Amino acid sequence: MAKSGKIETCHRFDERLLACYRELLQTTNLQKAYQEWFRWFRFLRNELERRMPDYQFQGTVAENGMEYAYFQFASVELKEKGLKIVVAFLHRDFSLEVWLSGVNRKSQALWEEKLRSAATSFSCTADPLHTDYILRAPIPVNWADGNAVVATLEQTVERLLSEI
């Protein structure tokens, strides 16, 4: 028992996965590669914020346990509708996407119902209560040309908003 009188719980972790992580860090450029990716993704966020002054960007880049990383932003009009734009990087697929998302699950379900039957060139979620997007669009990426990626993101956001 701990001094506070509470029973301590035993936390167990997968030793093999931790050893694998250590080995990757010690034998590959994983850390430097991740730092370069993060620098690239942060550039996308900062440059979009500079180019899109009518949007409020929230916080900084958010990481989701290497499942995906994202940043989000919205205009006053989008906020009033309960919507936001998310730029997401899916680590496993090494892909970039733009999402139209609700500010919460209720808003997301409402908008998915409105957009389900609309003619759109974007992929629509099948389950708005269990996905983090309503509509999504993959972004073709030239990894070395950050400015081209930003321009494509801008165009995709404009196209997405013109369809809702």
Q: Which residue has the higher pLDDT, 164 or 48?
A: 48
In a domain, 7, yes or no: no
Q: DSSP string of 93-132?
A: TTEEEEEEEESSHHHHHHHHHHHHTS--SSEE-S-TTTSS
Q: Which residue has the higher pLDDT, 128 or 143?
A: 143
In a domain, 145, yes or no: yes
| Residues of the chain above pLDDT 70, percent | 97
Residue showing tokens 């509509």:
135
Q: Are 107 and 115 in contact (CB under 8 A)?
A: no
In a domain, 10, yes or no: no
Q: What is the mean pLDDT of residues 142-148?
A: 93
First to last CA, the chain: 57
Model pLDDT for residues 10-21, shown as the tens digit of each residue: 788 999 999 999
In a domain, 2, yes or no: no
Where in the sequence is the domain holding 55, given as residue range(s)? 15-162
Q: What is the mean pLDDT of residues 67-73?
A: 95
In a domain, 41, yes or no: yes
State the pLDDT at residue 78. 96
CA angle 75, 76, 82 (to 5 degrees): 90
Model pLDDT for residues 34-53, shown as the tens digit of each residue: 999 999 999 999 999 999 99
State the pLDDT at residue 3. 62
Strands 68-74 and 83-90, bridge-based pairing? antiparallel
Q: Containing H/E element for 84?
A: strand 83-90
Q: Which residue has the higher pLDDT, 141 or 118?
A: 141
d(CA 148, CA 109): 33
C-alpha torsion 68→74→77→80, nearest 10: 70
In a domain, 1, yes or no: no
How many domains are contained in the chain? Answer: 1
In a domain, 70, yes or no: yes
Model pLDDT for residues 72-127, shown as the tens digit of each residue: 999 999 999 999 999 999 999 999 999 999 999 998 888 888 887 777 778 888 88
In a domain, 124, yes or no: yes
Residues recorded for the chain? 164
- Quote the tokens at residue 51: 């180019």
